[in-house]
Every structure is written in structure tokens, then in C-alpha cells.
Amino acid sequence: MHDALEKARELLENVTPLKTDCGKVCGGRCCRPLEAEETGMLLFPGEEELYRGKAGWKLRETPAGVLAVCTGSCERGERPLSCRIFPLLPVIRDGAVKVAADQRARAVCPLLKQGIRGMDPAFTEAVREAGRMLAEVPEERAFLEKLTEEQDELKALREKLGGSHV
């Protein structure tokens, strides 16, 4: 794992979307696997080495990248970066790193009804700073650009199907 990824993970170790445990708002929906489905979080390039062969984790290759599938319960320090930044995502817009609501999280996270402004500004800034650090590494920047493209496609589809509440 390279330095930027390690620093991004450390930056988001103890900061969360709310100043309190946001899992109490929704009963930890983001950590509960969907019934009869094997769901997980997309790993950032270089993270898979942390989870390969580790008890309680399965890795699946997908067209989008490596997906970490867990039991829904882990030590806080073991969370993948995607879990640490949830429900936000650093995106690349006009060459700069911005923070956006992760379109994939809209069906799971009730915090997104309030938007980014409803979250702890320290969390939002940590996600932005992690994105800036990662964007300095070509492989990570390419991954962020791919995620940004997917987010734009999901947002366009959501709007086409009837708005942001879909």
C-alpha cells in the first residue's frame, strides 16, 4: 500500500459524517449486507493486499474493481476507505477534487436527504483532503476519474427516471 492511500485511510480513521454515531440514525444500514445478496465496498487501488486471505473478508473481482465483501461487522480500524468516506465520494471536476454525495449511497443512507451540508464539516473536509492526496497518485487519480464518470451516469439516470428521490 502506498503512502497516499495509507494517509487517506488514517485521515478518515476517527472522523464520521455526524459528531455522534450515525449508525444510530438508521440502525447501521450501511454495514448490513442485503438479504440473499453478496454486497460489499469497492476497494481503492492498493487496498486489496490488506484484505486478501483475511478472516471475515471475501474479495470479488468486478468490472469496476475489487469488491470487499464482509460480514457486516469489523473493527473500526479495518474498514476499507470506501466505508470510511461513506456516504460521500471525492470526485474530479474541472481538474480539481471536490466532494459529492455518492449516488450509490442514496438508497441506503438517510443522511443524504439533508445533503452534504447536514454532515460534520470536518468529515467533509477529510474526504476532500483524502481525495486530494489520492489524486496525486496516477493510479488513484484514474480510479477517482472512473468513479466520477460512474457517478455522473447514475445521477443522469436518476434524473431521467424522475428526480433525485428515485
pTM here is 0.89
Give 129's contacts (C-beta < 8 A, 6+ positions apart): 11
Whether the pLDDT of residue 132 is over 60: the answer is yes
Beta bridge partners of 41: 68
Q: Are strands 57-62 and 65-70 parallel, antiparallel or unpaired?
A: antiparallel
Per-residue pLDDT of 18-65, as tens digits, reads 887 777 777 676 777 666 666 789 999 999 999 999 998 999 998 889
59: its cell numbers: 474479495
Confidence of residue 166 (pLDDT cuts 50, 70, 90): very low
Whether the pLDDT of residue 130 is over 90: the answer is yes
The whole-number pLDDT of residue 163 equals 63
Per-residue pLDDT of 67-109, as tens digits, reads 998 877 778 889 999 999 999 999 999 999 999 999 888 888 8
